[in-house]
């Protein structure tokens, strides 16, 4: 589908304003399976259902706004990644996308490993029973307490991000009489975001140790000398919402180049290479993500080819999808509060949440789609901007989309693909109470993260 500033045909307003939006779908009631969780559909009354439950019932029971998560879909996607990569590779779910104890248990049951990047995420993972050896600990500035906790717990790997950290982790492990498995995170000078990637990106960012000027080789040199460290491999993470595999190709080429240098200098063949996460999902019907099996095949071919070229044993690959697993599994359910048409511009639809439950639109100019969920409508499409209730004009949830022209206060609308980086980035701005996450499966719903209450807010405010 093509994007255009002026989609064909006058709709609602005679002249449509400039904008980055897709022409309205032929049927606004249709739910594109690309952007909705697997079990989402409409019942005989036209109400959106998920896991066999109508959103009107969910709204009544759990209130709005709420994140509604399709557990069967989550498990399907986790399993698809696990199966695609098989037993010769490891899949680490990136917990920062969305983490709760229920999620940890699903991952454990589906055979996935888990990435954490803070003491809080580690505590959540451990408290839900994820075996420590299946946890990887990330981050560019882990505190001494976090390092000690991770080493004591026996996490499977710590991903080292700086020269200081190499020494810190080594000392901590030695003082505890342990040898910690580590990977060294390098920046390969590749930057990938959505449809483009840059092979010669500046390594001007906070993560990783630059490959280009020999710093990464020096990091490996130092780490190999420290008794507290067992250097198992190299880590690279090149971006987010990536559709084009060529960024991974360049990254793998450069990482394998380092493995070769390490072999030539130290006589050591590092056993693992982690290519990070960042695989894209469909936020709108314009996005065409690849299936896990296609990604697995492409990555494995790339690494095998590069290693053959360098006459290296092919290392074990790991990947770290976050968004690609949880993103499409949830939608946010809102109630419409006000509908404000601005003649010749667009109609502002205010919902009962906003940037406190979805900061991505304000933060990254992220695109979302939206659907009327509590009923169907045959009214003409109108161009809308879905906005929140916060005191900030940038408080936008969906920048440009079409909803039926008879949309009214009290209608429920749903924004799909909000499973990743929405609840996990939610805030209490304006003392908003963060929405619950309701998991739905086989006709049953349960709260896995409850809604915050005024009591929760006041408990932190000790006067
Ligand atoms: C954020 C992150 C991921 C996950 O990214 P997604 O876009 O959610 O797949 C994986 N690995 C690292 C190191 C990250 O920082």
What is the DSSP track for 59-75?
HHHH-SSEEEEEHHHHH
Residue 179, SS3 per DSSP: coil
Distance CA 131, CA 111 (A): 11
* Active-site hit among 117, 307, 391, 422: 391
Q: Model-level pTM?
A: 0.95
Distance CA 127, CA 124 (A): 5
With a 6 Å cutoff on the Cβ, whether 360 touches ligand 1 is no
How many other CB atoms sit within 10 Å of the CB of residue 224?
15
What's the confidence (pLDDT) of residue 15? 54
From the CA of 94, give the closest atom in ligand 1: 4
Per residue of the chain (463 residues), give pLDDT as tens: 334 444 443 444 445 666 666 778 889 999 999 999 999 999 999 999 999 999 999 999 999 999 999 999 999 999 999 999 999 899 999 999 999 999 999 999 999 999 999 999 999 999 999 999 999 999 999 999 999 999 999 999 999 999 999 999 999 999 999 999 999 999 999 988 876 777 777 778 899 999 999 999 999 999 999 999 999 999 999 999 999 999 999 999 999 999 999 999 999 999 999 999 999 999 999 999 999 999 999 999 999 999 999 999 999 999 999 999 999 999 999 999 999 999 989 999 999 999 999 999 999 899 999 999 999 999 999 999 999 999 999 999 999 999 999 999 999 999 999 999 999 999 999 999 999 999 999 999 999 999 999 999 999 999 9
Q: For residue 278, report the distance from its CA to the centre of ligand 1, in Å.
A: 5
Q: For residue 241, report the distance from its CA to the centre of ligand 1, in Å.
A: 10
With a 6 Å cutoff on the Cβ, whether 142 touches ligand 1 is no
With a 6 Å cutoff on the Cβ, whether 7 touches ligand 1 is no
From the CA of 276, give the closest atom in ligand 1: 11
Tell me which residue has its CA closest to atom 3 in ligand 1: 277
With a 6 Å cutoff on the Cβ, whether 138 touches ligand 1 is yes
Q: Cα 275–279–280 angle (5° rounding)? A: 165
Q: For residue 320, report the distance from its CA to the centre of ligand 1, in Å.
A: 6
What's the confidence (pLDDT) of residue 8? 40
Write down the domain spans for the chain.
Answer: 13-70+328-460, 138-321
Distance CA 325, CA 178 (A): 34
Contact (CB, 8 A) for 203 and 210: yes
Q: For residue 198, report the distance from its CA to the centre of ligand 1, in Å.
A: 18
138-321: CATH architecture: Alpha-Beta Barrel (3.20)
Distance CA 51, CA 394 (A): 34
What's the confidence (pLDDT) of residue 20? 64
391 flagged as catalytic: yes
Topology of domain 13-70+328-460 in CATH is Lyase, Ornithine Decarboxylase; Chain A, domain 1 (2.40.37)
Residue 248, SS3 per DSSP: helix
């Amino acid at each position: 589908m093509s994007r255009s500033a002026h989609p064909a045909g006058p709709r609602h307003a005679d002249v449509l304003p400039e904008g980055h939006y897709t022409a309205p779908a032929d049927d606004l009631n249709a739910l594109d399976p690309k952007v909705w969780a697997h079990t989402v559909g409409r019942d005989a009354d036209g109400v959106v259902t998920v896991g066999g439950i109508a959103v009107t019932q969910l709204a009544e029971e759990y209130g709005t706004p709420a994140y509604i998560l399709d557990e069967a879909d989550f498990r399907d996607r986790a399993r698809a990644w696990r199966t695609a990569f098989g037993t010769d590779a490891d899949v680490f779910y990136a917990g920062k996308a969305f983490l709760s104890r229920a999620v940890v248990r699903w991952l454990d049951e589906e055979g996935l490993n888990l990435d954490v990047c803070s003491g809080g995420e580690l505590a959540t993972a451990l408290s839900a029973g994820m075996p420590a050896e299946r946890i990887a600990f990330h981050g560019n500035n882990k505190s001494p307490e976090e390092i000690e906790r991770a080493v004591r717990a026996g996490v499977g790997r710590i991903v080292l991000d700086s020269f200081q950290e190499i020494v810190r982790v080594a000392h901590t492990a030695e003082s505890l009489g342990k040898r910690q498995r580590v990977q060294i995170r390098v920046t390969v000078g590749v930057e990938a975001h959505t449809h483009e990637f840059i092979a010669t990106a500046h390594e001007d960012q906070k993560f990783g140790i630059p490959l280009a000027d020999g710093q990464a080789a020096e990091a490996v040199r130092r780490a190999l000398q420290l008794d507290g460290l067992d250097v198992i491999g190299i880590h690279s993470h090149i971006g987010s919402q990536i559709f084009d595999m060529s960024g991974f190709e360049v990254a793998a080429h450069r990482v394998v180049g380092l493995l070769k240098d390490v072999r030539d200098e130290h006589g050591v063949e590092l056993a693992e290479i982690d290519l990070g996460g960042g695989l894209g999902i469909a936020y709108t019907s314009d996005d065409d993500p690849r299936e896990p099996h296609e990604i697995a095949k492409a990555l494995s071919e790339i690494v095998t080819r590069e290693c053959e070229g360098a006459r290296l044993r092919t290392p074990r690959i790991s990947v770290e999808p976050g968004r690609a697993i949880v993103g499409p599994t949830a939608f946010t359910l809102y109630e419409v509060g006000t509908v404000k048409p601005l003649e010749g511009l667009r109609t502002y639809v205010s919902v009962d949440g906003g940037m406190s439950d979805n900061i991505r639109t304000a933060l990254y100019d992220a695109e979302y789609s939206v659907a009327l969920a509590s009923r169907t409508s045959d009214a003409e499409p109108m161009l809308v901007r879905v906005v929140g209730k916060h005191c900030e004009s940038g408080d936008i949830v969906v920048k440009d989309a079409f909803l039926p022209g008879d949309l009214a206060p009290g209608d429920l609308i749903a924004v799909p693909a909000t499973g990743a980086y929405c609840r996990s980035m939610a805030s209490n701005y304006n003392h908003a109470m963060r929405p619950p996450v309701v998991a739905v499966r086989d006709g049953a719903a349960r709260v896995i993260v409850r809604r915050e209450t005024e009591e929760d807010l006041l408990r932190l405010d000790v006067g």
